Each structure stands twice: as structure tokens, then as C-alpha cells.
Structure 1
């Protein structure tokens, strides 16, 4: 289950989402929440969901921030310096992975990790630019161009990654989140599910990621994708099912 545009919009529930998820729990379905948004820790996501009427535990949440921190821990020695561009939640995940968070290129980081943060500005991108040009690996948590909100789609991490890519004249060394299949595969393994349905609102991340993971998908029209876009989707962006909202789950669950 994706979050932004599917279950929540900002800090508000999508209409009908709490009721639909409660019904799924009552049916005995196993749920995992998988998000590209790197601005909250897993416990913060669970608290947000619980606060809007969606029962959730931190262990049911997988974020691109945690996944990126794990990748960094696998690539570099404990204590290695990592320049974090993003929200405090991303820095917390990097610290929890045993690495040292820095904010300046002069600190000689071995890597730059970039995730969505509402306060990310030019000075953060400038430090990242200098660090990457100096040889640091560049890892992005995701490249979602927009973020669904109650005010409509607003710039997402992908927009900020694009700004840095323009300055560097190259793309990140690695993008961790969807549409890469790793988060979905990890969620399915964690849930121990024999059959998995991916629910999302974006063709270019959720649905493409589901297809890359060889899983069925349900596209809901409560976030980014429109009915017209869904109808015209082809190849790896074509969903198995389409529904106006999460009530469509009960036609396929």
C-alpha cells in the first residue's frame, strides 16, 4: 500500500481510506505500507496513520529513507561520513545505520543521499553539488516529480534531484525507491504473503515498480494519476486494476 495520494494527503486521510483499511484488517488481510516519501521515520509514519484512524505499527512501514540508509551501510564502513540532503528523518535513518551525518562538502563525505524535505534549499543542493563533483557517490531515495497534497501536486524529491542533475550534468548513481522493485519485494517477504497486490496512485512509480516485481497492481485515482492517464497506460506502466478509490479493493481482494 502506497501512502501519499492513496491513504493520506499531507496529514489528512484520503476519503474512505480508514474505513477501507479497517475492513481489510477485519478480513484478515496482511498490510504493509511502502512509501517513497523520505521525510518521516517509520515510527512517525505509523503515528500519523494511527492518528487519522488507520491502525499501523512501525514494523508495517517501509520507507525509501530506511532503504537508502541500508544501502549506504552495505557500501561503506561504519562511521563513514554521509552528506544528507533532506528531512531530519533521513538523517536519523543514516545515523541509525551506523554512519556519520555531515552537512558540508568540506567534511569529505563518501556519499550524498538525497530525499524529500520541505526545507531543502539552494544551500543544501550547493553542498551536494560540490561533494558529488569531488567524488562522493550520489544516492537518491526516489525521483517522484510531485507530491500529492490537499492543495494539489507540489514539487517532490524528483524535482529537486532534477535541479541537482542539471547542475551536475548527470543522474544519481542509484535511485533506491519505486519504481525499483526492492521496496515491494522486501514488503512481500516481510509479510510472508503468498499473493501480493500493490496499491498506488502513480503509474511511473507504484505501477511500474509492481510490474518490475512481477506483482499485480491496483491504481487508485485519489492522487496523481487520472482516469485518462490510466486508460492510455501501456507496457510497464499498465496496472492490473483501476478504481476511483480504495473501495475498489473489495472487487479484487
Structure 2
């Protein structure tokens, strides 16, 4: 079966040149991409410096609403990624803009979250209040490490009294050195469960954040770089931009394989150093999909995927060791072009078995 006989599959095209040679601006998520917790992802500051020397400009687009753009830029600079406040777009800014447009300057708003939420509201001329008794017209809820029962209770009372509920983002988790931890979406769910109200969510994947970063940078061929399918990859797709998924944050290979059609990335790498290298294509051959030294195919109609080492020595290709995963994604997505379906994978040989174990993929 030829490649032309199958529908286009994300990831399959690859990129013959490094993204730095093709895309003028990288729109980078932060948590799980540039840093995890307080520390930089190993090698990423150096990779971003190299990308800049190659002519790529960087913008930082984060759903984390806890800090102000100035604080985010200062942290990035401390980690070896020089940035100014104008290089940073936060979900707090997006939420504040939406609320100001809907309610007008001076409207009373109750912030829930870190200091970045209140700062963004004040920056657009809204009046920040602290209690439900202050009769806020809206509650803006964003991530904050110190958010607790008292703030959630004020939000619940205000919303039940008629305030609009606006969430900066719906991310259920945030990455940390200890593994995924509760994110803003988890806390928003608490408030929503008590009030019975569905909030307006203004952060990614809403395209407004990426669009604002494109406007600021003057990007012509932006590339969204992120670790989440539901915000970064889908947000890039909705903004009309290509996406690079990195595995340094919350998305694991099983989640990637199960991705629905709107959350399938164009490129894949272990971390943001994927900006610096070409990305191998995945080709359709003999009813299967091949990438580097690996081949993946569906076994029967609706059957499991099978991965086998197909090249000399079963090598994984130069670079990141993800060619087998790329082949599996192409095979699974070609089989389920319109659906979000978990994949069952089996190994055809010992090298494939070791790869599946490394990726923690379910075997059958």
C-alpha cells in the first residue's frame, strides 16, 4: 500500500530541516517545557540559546496564572533563558482582557489564585475586591500554590450571588519533580461542582493567547512547543500553527497514542532541543508504517498494534530514540483517523519489547 493511498497522518511528514530553519518564532509553553518546578529542564536553556543564534525568536505562552509576566521573565532569565515581560503571555492576562471587554473598566472582580491574577486584573483597569460581600461582577480563578478553602468559599458565595465565573485555564494537573500535581482545573472543578455553574475558560486551547503572542512577535510561521495535548497542541491547531510536542512534561506515550484528531502534534521530541534537529518522516510500506529502524502495523481489523525492529541492528535512528513511537502513532492514527482510542501494543521482537517497556505502553 502506498503512502498516497492512506489519509494524511500527523507526525508522518516529519521535517527535513531543523524547525529553526523553517519556523521564525517558537511559542513555548513553560511548565514541563522550559522548566519543571523551580528548575530548568536539563539542556533546554542551552538549546533555546542555540535556537536564538540560528535566528528563531521566542515567545512564552503559559496557562499558569500564578505569577506576573515580570516575575516569569525574571525566573526565565535566572534559568539562563533571557526574557522580558513583553515576551510573556499568561492566562491571567487573557482572562483579564476578556472580563474587561465584557464588563467594562472599573468593574468589580474577585481574584482567586496567585498574585498574577490580581495584577492582571488591575493592569486592565478592573477593580479588585477580596470578599463576596463586595458584590463582584465576576470571579476570575487561576492557579496559586496557596489557594485554599477560604478563597474557594468566597468564590462559591460570589458566584451563587450572580457573579460570572471565569477560569484562566482548565489544566487538571501541573508537572513537578514529584510527578503531576493538582492544577487550576482541579480547583475550578471544586467551585463548579458546588455552584452548578460551568465557567468560561479563557486560556489555552483558546487561540487568543497564541494569537496575541504572534501579534507581539510578528511571526509568519510560528511553531507551538508544549507538553500538553489538550492545551498546547489543540491550541496551536486552533490558532493555525504547527506544533511540537515534548515529552518532558505531563504527556506520556500512551496518552499521545490515544490522542483525538484535534490533539495530534506535527512533530515530536523528548524535549525542546527538538527545535535544533530534523524530524524523520514516517512512511507507509506494505500495510505498515516505518520510521528509521522501526515498523508498526495494525494486526487485523481493530486488532492491536505490533512494533518490530526493521532496520540494520534494529536501531532507533539518530537522535532521540523516538522513531518507534512515531511509527506507532502513524499506524494507530491511520486506523482511527477521527476517534480518540487507547492503543494496545505488542512487541514482535526483544528490541521492540524493551522499547515498549521504556515507554510504559500497554501490551496485548
Q: Same-fold call, TM > 0.5?
A: yes
Shift of 1:77: 2.9
Shift of 1:99: 1.3
Structure 2 contact 48–273 (Cα < 8 Å) conserved: no
Greater fraction helix: 1
Unaligned segments of structure 2, at least 5 residues: 1-27, 280-364
SS for the counterpart of 1:83 is strand
Shift of 1:100: 1.2
Q: Which residue of the partner structure matches residue 105 of structure 2? A: 78
Residues 61-97 of structure 1 show CA distances to partners (whole Å, capped at 9, x for unaligned) of: 0000111111122122322210111111211111121
Q: Does 1:241 align with 2:267?
A: yes
Partner of residue 95 from structure 2, selected from 68, 73, 84: 68
Q: Which residue of the partner structure matches residue 111 of structure 1? A: 138
Aligned pairs for 1:161-176 (under 5 A) are 161-172=188-199, 174-176=200-202
Shift of 1:220: 0.2
Shift of 1:152: 1.3
SS for the counterpart of 2:155 is helix
Q: Distance in 2 between matches of 1:241 and 1:99?
A: 40
Q: Does 1:41 align with 2:68?
A: yes
Q: Distance in 2 between matches of 1:115 and 1:189?
A: 24
Q: Distance in 2 between matches of 1:176 and 1:68?
A: 5
Unaligned segments of structure 1, at least 5 residues: none
Q: Does 1:15 align with 2:42?
A: yes
Q: Distance in 2 between matches of 1:176 and 1:100?
A: 19
Taking structure 1 as the reference length, the TM-score comes to: 0.96
- Greater Cα radius of gyration, structure 1 or 2: 2
Q: Which residue of the partner structure matches residue 143 of structure 1? A: 170
Q: Does 1:180 align with 2:209?
A: no
Q: Distance in 2 between matches of 1:190 and 1:201?
A: 23
Q: Which residue of the partner structure matches residue 5 of structure 2? A: none
SS for the counterpart of 1:124 is helix
Q: Distance in 2 between matches of 1:160 and 1:14?
A: 26
Shift of 1:252: 4.9
Q: Does 1:204 align with 2:230?
A: yes
Q: Which residue of the partner structure matches residue 242 of structure 2? A: 216
Q: Does 1:194 align with 2:194?
A: no
CA RMSD between the two structures = 1.2
SS for the counterpart of 1:31 is strand
Change over 3 Å in CA distance of 1:85–1:39 after alignment to 2: same
Q: Which residue of the partner structure matches residue 29 of structure 1? A: 56
Q: Which residue of the partner structure matches residue 227 of structure 1? A: 253
Question: How many aligned residue pairs are there?
Answer: 252
Structure 1 contact 230–242 (Cα < 8 Å) conserved: no
Q: Distance in 2 between matches of 1:133 and 1:247?
A: 47
Which has the larger displacement, 112-121 or 243-252? 243-252
SS for the counterpart of 1:218 is strand
Taking structure 2 as the reference length, the TM-score comes to: 0.68
Residues 167-215 of structure 1 show CA distances to partners (whole Å, capped at 9, x for unaligned) of: 112310x111011111111111211111011000001111111111121
